[in-house]
Structure 1
Amino acid sequence: MENLLQVILLGIIEGVTEFLPISSTGHLLIAQHWLGRRSDLFTVAIQSGAILAVTLVYWRRLLDMALGFMRPENRDYLLKLFVALMITVVGGLGARLAGVELPESVYPVAAALIIGGFVIFAVESYVSKREPNTAISWGAAAWVGVAQVIAAVFPGTSRSAAALFAAMLAGTTSRPAAAEFAFLLAIPTMFAATAYQFLELYLEGGLATEHWGDLGVAFVVSTIVGFIAVKWLLRYIQSHSYVPFAWYRIALGLLLIAFV
């Protein structure tokens, strides 16, 4: 029973934090510091549960782009998503082959949380001086891909935050437009990461040792909670900035350094 409650709690943490700019990986690492370490497949797969949630949120947009691929605006948008995805995949695979792994200590996560908080302040200050722009440029698409690689290398950065604020700094000053691009890019990115982790575990013969029941429960929980969190965030950013998340990141980072 205790293990089930821990798994549900991890699913809730993932669902809430995946698309908020506060780092889901960082929060999962912090939670696992007390609840016990889970496999890398568990961590990546329950993130895919949250990605399934955003797929459900954006299903009309995805269907429109698929059926209307021949329309120039849809084709242009999909190609920019593809460019960002390729940069993310190549950079992420390179980091993986270089031996980059999730840290055992929470201190790197705390540092990334604090630094990311100050980055949010800077980005919001920059955007506040400019007119809203919903267009995604080729440069923005490229920088979003680079930002996702940085987030993968430094847990605590937040993949969604990195993509969001890279797009905003690159000229997409509309928060909803930047969020849509970042969230749609997360769909193939995280599903690909899960597939890679699954294949790696299969080749190593580790599938038999994975706790599939725990993974399944956490996946379902993160999907449900993620759906609620995304719907809330998309409403929130229509009229609010990301500044409260910056304060949260800094406070959490300082607490981790002080007490963990």
Structure 2
Amino acid sequence: MTDLIKVILLGIIEGITEFLPISSTGHLLIAEKLGLGERSDLFNVGIQAGAILAVTLIYWKRIWGLLTQWRDPANRDYVLKLFVAFMITAVLGFIVTHMGFKLPEAVTPIAWALVIGGLWMIGAEQMAARQVDRTEVTWTVAILVGIAQIVAGVFPGTSRSGATIFAAMLAGTSNRAAATEFAFLVGIPTMYAATGYELLKVVKSDGVAHEDWTALIVGFVVSAIVAFIAVKWLLGYIRTHRFTPFAIYRIALGIALLLLMPSGA
């Protein structure tokens, strides 16, 4: 398999999995173990940035409306809740980083996170279905979504989008579309900040000089295109369908990895 094909496949994996509730970090680690190769930190940042750009474009009108219609009390309240959720993530993320936390490099914990997360999603979907359909985002939702982002960051395989969407649904925003929109809008500044932080580390370590820029650009473009298509599809899908198929996929993949991958791989 040529290096260019590997880069394209990694871009596709990132684009599909970054905002679907199936864990991008987990899938990229699995892809690395299966032979697609370990990439530089800047490459990983680049393909993630492509996925973020795609979602920013999808929500551009909504973002512009929130920023330009500040006098509307409902918009102002929504923006403040987005800000609080983001700040909770930023502060907790700063603490976790300075505690020296590092992501696991073995597949086994990822596999368990996929299985446990899938089971949790099925249970959470059932509990949310019993609630009255609500689109309102409460302060409780904002706080828990901020915390959920860090939980997903600390436990790869959890899925940032899955954790935040279901945190919102169980905390009161039971409408899937409304919960997903808030989770994704919080994720945009959060992921831009995380990407910027990683990029700064790469620049300081002089990793830029040794980067394969062709691979990075190809990965970025592929990730952006695929993420745009994947998120557009997801937003239409959840209007009339539950997240259960994603949960089943997570469980099946996690079990397969536990059975097929060598222990500690």
Does the alignment reach a TM-score above 0.5? yes
Separation in 1, partners of 2:191, 2:28: 16
- SS state at 1:190 partner: helix
Partner residue in 2 for 1:39: 40
Partner of 2:197: 196
The RMSD of aligned alpha carbons is 1.2
Report the Cα distance in structure 1 between the residues aligned to 2:74 and 2:133, rounded to whole angstroms. Answer: 19
* C-alpha distance in structure 1 between counterparts of 2:254 and 2:188, whole Å: 28
Which shifted more, 163-172 or 88-97? 88-97
| Letter aligned with residue 23 of structure 2 | S
Aligned AA (1:20):
L
Structure 1: tracts of 5 or more residues without a match: none
The residue aligned with 2:19 is 19
Partner of 1:50: 51
Which string of whole-angstrom CA distances, capped at 9 and with x for unpartnered residues, describes residues 155-205 of structure 1? 100010011011011110000000000111111111111110111122222
> Structure 1: which amino acid aligns with 2:10?
L
Equivalent in the alignment of 1:2: 2
Q: Distance in 1 between matches of 2:257 and 2:124?
A: 24
Which whole-Å deviations, capped at 9, do the CAs of 1:56-88 have from their partners, x for residues lacking one?
111111111111012111111111010110111
The answer for the alignment partner of 2:29 in structure 1 is 29
Structure 2: stretches of 5+ with no match in the other structure: none
Further displaced range: 171-180 or 203-212: 203-212
Partner SS for 2:48: helix
Number of the residue aligned with 1:171: 172
Runs (4+) off by over 3 Å: none
1:125 Cα deviation from its structure 2 partner: 0.8
How many pairs align? 260
- Give runs of aligned pairs for residues 24-173 of structure 1, distance below 5 A: 24-33=24-33, 34-173=35-174
For 2:111, the aligned partner's letter is A
> How far does residue 27 in structure 1 lie from its aligned partner after superposition?
0.5
Quote how far apart the aligned CAs of 1:211 are. Answer: 2.4
- Asked if the contact 1:28/1:43 (under 8 Å) is kept, the reply is no
TM-score normalized with structure 2 length: 0.95
CA distance in 1, matches of 2:257, 2:40: 22
CA separation in 2, counterparts of 1:140 and 1:41?
33
| Residue deviations 1:194-228 (CA, integer Å, cap 9, x gap) | 11011112222222123232122111111101010
* Deviation of 1:135 (Å): 0.5
- Contact preservation (8 Å) 1:114, 1:249: yes
How far does the alpha carbon of each residue in 1:94-149 deviate from its partner, in whole angstroms, 9 at most, with x for none?
22222222222111110110010011011111011111100110110010010000
- 1:92 CA drift (Å): 1.6
SS in structure 2 opposite 1:164?
helix
